[in-house]
A = this chain, B = another copy of it.
Amino acid sequence: MGHEFDSQIEVEGKGEGVFSADLSAGWVVGGGVNGGYLLAVMGNALRASLPGKPDPLAVSAHYLSASVPGPATVAVDVRRDGGSVATAAADLRQGEATRITALATYGDLGRLGDDVRTTAEEPDMPPPDECVPNTMAPPEVRAIAPLMDRFDMRFHPDHVGWAVGRPSGNGVLSAWFRLADGRDPDPISLLMVVDALPPVTFELGMPGWAPTLELTAHVRARPAPGWLKVRHETRNMAGGMFEEDCEVWDSTGRLVAQSRQLARQPRG
């Protein structure tokens, strides 16, 4: 049985590094298609282009224009492949417009050492059943954010003030996360997970869309099956922009992905 997510990120090789994709309307949020989902689509094309290096280690994406559901192409240009890692450039295009341009370094996470000296602390969260599910979102929110139906997301009770008009004022947002279709996480889906939560600016009283200028994700281990914990934080809101750091922890308590993005503050 295939999972919805796998069909949504599917790419078909057309030769010479070009892949076709069909961007799913199920990942629309506001005026565009979710940037994390798009990165997973690109990540899939990159994986297909780099035999023996199945896993994204570092992916840096610069967002040029908003995507729309429907046909797209991913053009991959392998820049260096030798030793244990390979680096490639990838562009996501629709018609004449480049939506995202990215650089990616891939390797094999299964061949890394098993040393773990992580000092970052796993987020302390109540069990999923004691958190606030995304299915509680008001219908008007879900209408403009079909992507909410892709997730089973359970927000930390301390980080959902934004949903009831009482943002905490802290630049932190965290939630349990799994795909609604039951698909377990893998390094490609983590590229989506790092940009799946609402922007942390929601908790700062700015409920609008926060366009990403740049996002870099590091995938540090293959995630274990089951729930993920996702934590977003900003520490530098200034000049109309903010950085957003994301950590993703798997069900064994391992920090499996870290990302940082630079985004524009929501207007109004």
Binding site for B on A (CB under 8 A): 57-58, 60, 62, 64-65, 79-80, 85, 87, 89, 98, 101-105, 109, 112-120, 171, 204, 213-214, 216, 218, 220-221, 234-241, 243, 254-255, 258, 260, 262
Q: Which residues of the other chain, B, contact A79 by a CB distance below 8 angstroms? A: 62, 64, 98, 101
Q: Which residues of the other chain, B, contact A114 by a CB distance below 8 angstroms? A: 239
Interface residues of A: mostly helix, strand, loop or mixed? strand
Q: Which residues of the other chain, B, contact A243 by a CB distance below 8 angstroms? A: 218, 220, 258
| Measured CA separation A260–B218 after assembly (Å) | 10
Are B235 and A60 touching (Cβ within 8 A)? no
| Measured CA separation A114–B239 after assembly (Å) | 5
9 contacts between A and B (CB under 8 A): A58-B262, A60-B60, A62-B103, A101-B103, A114-B239, A118-B235, A119-B237, A218-B243, A260-B260
Q: Which residues of the other chain, B, contact A238 by a CB distance below 8 angstroms? A: 115-118, 220-221, 254-255
| Measured CA separation A123–B7 after assembly (Å) | 48
Q: Which residues of the other chain, B, contact A214 by a CB distance below 8 angstroms? A: 57-58, 60, 103, 105, 216, 218
| Measured CA separation A213–B89 after assembly (Å) | 15
| Measured CA separation A7–B102 after assembly (Å) | 31
A213 in complex: contacting residue of B57, B101, B120, CB < 8 Å:
B57
Q: Which residues of the other chain, B, contact A104 by a CB distance below 8 angstroms? A: 62
| Measured CA separation A101–B79 after assembly (Å) | 8
CB distance from A79 to the nearest CB of B (A): 5
CB distance from A216 to the nearest CB of B (A): 4
Q: Which residues of the other chain, B, contact A103 by a CB distance below 8 angstroms? A: 60, 62, 101-103, 214
Q: Which residues of the other chain, B, contact A105 by a CB distance below 8 angstroms? A: 62, 213-214, 262
CB distance from A215 to the nearest CB of B (A): 9
Are B221 and A239 touching (Cβ within 8 A)? yes
| Measured CA separation A100–B131 after assembly (Å) | 45
| Measured CA separation A238–B254 after assembly (Å) | 10
A98 in complex: contacting residue of B80, B120, B237, CB < 8 Å:
B80
